[in-house]
Structure 1
């Protein structure tokens, strides 16, 4: 057998056995190392224009590209049509003449547990609901309204000031349902009074529905009310000489506690956000 045939046999047996030697590059044949400049860190004070527009809530980022290319977006008074253009957070950006806010609006639903405050921390070591949604957002999200420390149930958090103002309006007709446990049985006479309307602070409080809870003592009731007057449920029962031992908000503006255990939170869906914004 010649030397060439012998070498071919060794190479073939090496491949069949699955043993491959790493290729070594002869001098002059090694890969050329490109002297590429180091990647510059992005400026944290700038943001892509399409993201700026999308964060403002006008449209999606993809649609923002279309509007930018059409010249509908101005930066500091001048139309910008360049894709990938970056703006500073201090720049004045307008869409069809309307000033935009680049802070992305976020919406969180929390099933509040007992013994967490919704007011500003005023006691050392006091547990606050904001601690329950720490990992939800980098933005500062605030609860739209309040529940007492001992109360439980649904709370909406957002940085959308316009929506907060709308939901807090006493006349918005926001639907809320509560499960209450009173300090004593609710009499049939007082149940009828509440159904007919009770005068509290010179204004009639009207409820959409109230009933005893099935298979429970008559001190447990469910009540649906569309008023956003502060502590109106508590004031209603206090007016009739009842104290609320437990209050759980189970429905808020169409949002429910379904698949949301106590102490947990979730992001609102796009449809849920639209529904809340449609409340007048």
Structure 2
């Protein structure tokens, strides 16, 4: 395979276009540089396989490739969705939940991060329908809470009361709608939910709907 075809194949795997389209782009001078300094239309290439994206998910967006309505993937550059390997969200946040959401095309990393054995702490800020009653911190930390429809108790979770109807909950599991169901088991209802932290990662000043690539150091710290 010629160098042009190899480069065209690589560009196609990053989602810039088909192989034939990339061969034409190369011939027309849209691809410049060499080695690690290749540019497409004057811009550095996207990272190769192993890319991890951090997004500040807005409310109203679904973590799906196929559902109707607004999808979190709509917030990413269209070429990202044509990459091979495919980009997927690391777990899900329901449509009404905002906050830190990760994406990657690294299947092995994805499975490590969502595995029940990963033990990665995730922190959520909850706004509740009714005032907290005072027993919730001990209740969530007990390791004895069994959610409705399940038979295995939740792992101990740490609750920090931040207001009369607000709380910060840190847990190391990722069960279906877990935070909402935990507060429901405590006789309350979550009106708003925001994930502020995933392992060592925080949103910082990233605006709602925006995203950024993780640095190599952040990626290494996420799943050593």
Shorter-chain-normalised TM-score: which range?
A: 0.7 to 0.9
Q: Which residue of 1 aligns with 2:20?
A: none
User: What SS does structure 2 have at the residue aligned with 1:114?
Assistant: coil
Q: Tell me if structure 2 keeps the 8 A contact 1:180–1:222.
A: yes
Residue number among 106, 109, 130 corresponding to 1:160 in the alignment: 106
> Does residue 198 of structure 2 align to residue 257 of structure 1?
no
Partner Cα separation in structure 2 for residue 211 and residue 276 of structure 1: 24
Note the C-alpha offset of 1:41: 9.7
Q: Which residue of 1 aligns with 2:161?
A: 212
Q: Tell me if structure 2 keeps the 8 A contact 1:171–1:228.
A: no
Partner Cα separation in structure 1 for residue 52 and residue 93 of structure 2: 18
Q: Which residue of 2 aligns with 1:122?
A: 67
Partner Cα separation in structure 2 for residue 265 and residue 180 of structure 1: 23
User: What SS does structure 2 have at the residue aligned with 1:203?
Assistant: coil
Which has the bigger relative contact order, CA under 8 A and spacing at least 6?
2
1:169-225, Cα deviation, whole Å (9 max, x unpaired): 112101100000111112112332123232232222234421211xx3x21000111
What is the correspondence of 1:193-212 to structure 2 with a 5 Å cutoff? 193-197=139-143, 198-200=145-147, 201-212=150-161
User: What SS does structure 1 have at the residue aligned with 2:218?
Assistant: helix
Q: CA RMSD in A?
A: 2.7
Residue number among 249, 257, 266 corresponding to 2:212 in the alignment: 266
- How many residues end up aligned between the 2 structures? 183
What is the correspondence of 1:12-27 to structure 2 with a 5 Å cutoff? none
Residue number among 142, 149, 158 corresponding to 2:95 in the alignment: 149
User: What SS does structure 1 have at the residue aligned with 2:212?
Assistant: strand
TM-score (normalizing by structure 1)? 0.59
Note the C-alpha offset of 1:233: 1.6
1:73-116, Cα deviation, whole Å (9 max, x unpaired): xxxxxxxxxxx9xxxxxxxxxxxxxxxxxx62211000001111
> Does residue 77 of structure 2 align to residue 134 of structure 1?
yes
Partner Cα separation in structure 2 for residue 261 and residue 135 of structure 1: 20
Partner Cα separation in structure 2 for residue 233 and residue 242 of structure 1: 11
Partner Cα separation in structure 2 for residue 110 and residue 254 of structure 1: 15
User: What SS does structure 2 have at the residue aligned with 1:258?
Assistant: coil
Partner Cα separation in structure 1 for residue 211 and residue 113 of structure 2: 19
226-235 or 159-168, which moves further after superposition?
A: 226-235
